[in-house]
Amino acid sequence: MEVNQEVIAHLAELSNFALTDQESTRLVSDLNGIINYISQLDELDTSGIEPTYQVFEMENVWRPDEILPQDADREQLLNLTKEVRDNQIKVPKVL
């Protein structure tokens, strides 16, 4: 798979990133480097093999359905956002 400016622009759009030309050019070369390196694995025949979900062979890692106090309260969490209004996160109009 070849990563070009178009692919980067598509991914940026999907993730709502604004990239400068410089950043975009660097990402093309970085990602191509990474993908080329990883594609060495392509020589293995993986047809009919389930994707690996996790490598520790764990199963059924779950917790009881009980409410517990949290480490962070509303004020702390809302403080992390750019703009707050009526205890809600204010974002540019969507829809």
Partner 1 sequence: MTKYIPTIGIECHVQLCTKTKLFSEVDNDARLKEPNSCVSPVDYGLPGMLPRLNQDAITYAVRAGLALNSEINLESRFDRKHYFYPDLPKGYQITQMYHPIIGAGFVELPDGTKIRIEHAHLEEDAGKLSHESTYSLVDLNRAGTPLIEIVSMPDIHSAAHARDYTKELWRLMTYAKVTFGDLYNGNMRFDVNISLAPEGSEKLGTRAEVKNLNSFRSVERAVEYEIKRQTKLLEKGEKVIQETRGWSDATGETTSQRSKEEAQDYRYMPEPDIPPIRLAPEVIEAERARLPKLPAEYRHDFSKVLTADLIEVLLDYQNLVEKLAELEDEKTAKKVANLFSSVLLAEENASLLNDELPTKEQLLELVEMNDKNELSSTATKEVFLKFFDPEMHFKDTRSIAKELGVIQENDMGALEAIVDAVLAKPETKQAQDDYKAGQEKVLGFLVGQVMKESHGKANPSAVQEILKAKLK
Binding site residues, partner 1, CB under 8 A: 10, 13-16, 51-54, 56, 58-68, 70-72, 74, 77-78, 80, 85-95
The least CB distance from residue 81 to partner 1, in Å, is: 9
Residues 6+ apart with CB under 8 A from 27: 3, 8, 19
CA angle 30/17/53 to nearest 5° reads 65
Cα–Cα distance, 42 to 46 (Å, whole number): 8
Both tokens assigned to 18: 């604004």
Contact criterion met (CB below 8 Å) for 28 and 4: yes
The least CB distance from residue 37 to partner 1, in Å, is: 19
The least CB distance from residue 58 to partner 1, in Å, is: 4
The least CB distance from residue 20 to partner 1, in Å, is: 19
